[in-house]
Each structure stands twice: as C-alpha cells, then as structure tokens.
Amino acid sequence: MDLSNTHLLDEAVVTTKLDAVVNWGREASLWPFVFGTACCAIEFMATAASRYDISRFGSEVLRFSPRHADLLVVAGTVSHKQAPILKQIYDQMPEPKWVIAMGACASTGGFYDNYTTLQGIDEIVPVDVYVAGCPPRPEALIDAVLDIQRKLKREKSFSVKHTDYKGKLDDV
C-alpha cells in the first residue's frame, strides 16, 4: 500500500516499526520454564500462587518443556552434577530466550563455595538478570520479570543473542 494514501483508512492503521510491535507482544506473554532445584523454587511457588500472582505481568503460562518456553528462571542451587542438565535445557529453548538467575546460589554459588556447587550459572549459560536474595522475595522475582520486559523492548526482535558467549560446558 502506498503510504501516502493512509488517510483513506482513517485511524484504523498505525505505522510503526516491526520490532516495536513484536516486542510489545512478547513483553506481556513471556512463557517461563522454571528450573527449580532448591529453596528458591518454593519462593517461586509463592510468586505463582494467588497472593503475588505472576499472571498480572503476563508470565503465568509456566511451561515444563523447554521447547515451549522463552524465559528460563533458574531458581535454586545448581550443582556440578546438575550443570549438564541445565545446559541441555537452555539449548533446547528456541530463540529468542532470556534467563533469570534467581537467588544467591544461581547467581554466584551463594554460600556453597565448595566442591559441589557451580559458582554461578553464568559459567554454563548466559544470564540476563540476576536477583539478589537467599531466597529473593516474590516481589524481587516479579521485578526481575519486569526487567526482562524492559530489556527485550530494546532488542532487535529477530536477532540471535549471546553469539559470543562461551560457557564451561560448550564444546566438551
């Protein structure tokens, strides 16, 4: 359609950028996959329950198959034994995808600075938002979801992210 003729359609058409439309849609329909391993997962349950109600922010469609999800919430300690599982799940998620490291353990290993625990999941997968707390309160997790929403608005909608990221388990 010739753009000079848009007046014929009155106000039924708005011109905008493709990125803006796609991201506007994505923002309120993030589908989280919860990689819940420990105590933080209990606080995730609270976030999903009716008091805090994550669905107010369009993120309640919890998927338990990574192939359906675009937001990975790592809630809990990730041990070395668990690491290849986390990586596999991340790899199975289609682009575009975002990752929240919920809690001290997922972010840095927390106070498990020992032989068992991965010192932060960013050794294995790229992380978009880190949430402090042990465990973080539900409000903090909701804030992280809002952060992801803000972040994705600034992104190119059809680009593959983190192409330069190299995790410890890549190519082994």
Residue ranges binding another protein (CB under 8 A):
34-39, 41-43, 45-46, 49-51, 64, 76-77, 79-86, 89, 111-117, 134-135, 137, 168-169, 172
- The interface partner of residue 84, options being another protein, ligand SF4, none and the CB cut-off 5 to 8 Å by kind, is another protein
Closest approach of ligand SF4 to the CB of residue 18, in Å: 39
CA distance 54 to 50: 8
SS3 34: strand
Taking the C-alpha atoms of residue 52 and residue 44, their distance in angstroms, rounded to an integer, is 10
| Shortest CB 138 distance to another protein, Å | 9
- Tell me if 135 contacts ligand SF4 by CB under 6 A: yes
* Token representation of residue 137: 């309160």
Place of tokens 């198959």: 65
The token pair at 134 is 């042990």
Please state the closest distance from residue 99 (CB atom) to another protein, in A: 14
CB of 40 to ligand SF4, least distance (A): 3
Count of residues that bind ligand SF4 according to CB under 6 A: 11
- Scan residues 26-55 and list those touching ligand SF4 (CB under 6 A): 38-40
Residues contacting residue 113 through CB under 8 Å, at least 6 positions apart: 119
Rg (CA), the chain: 18
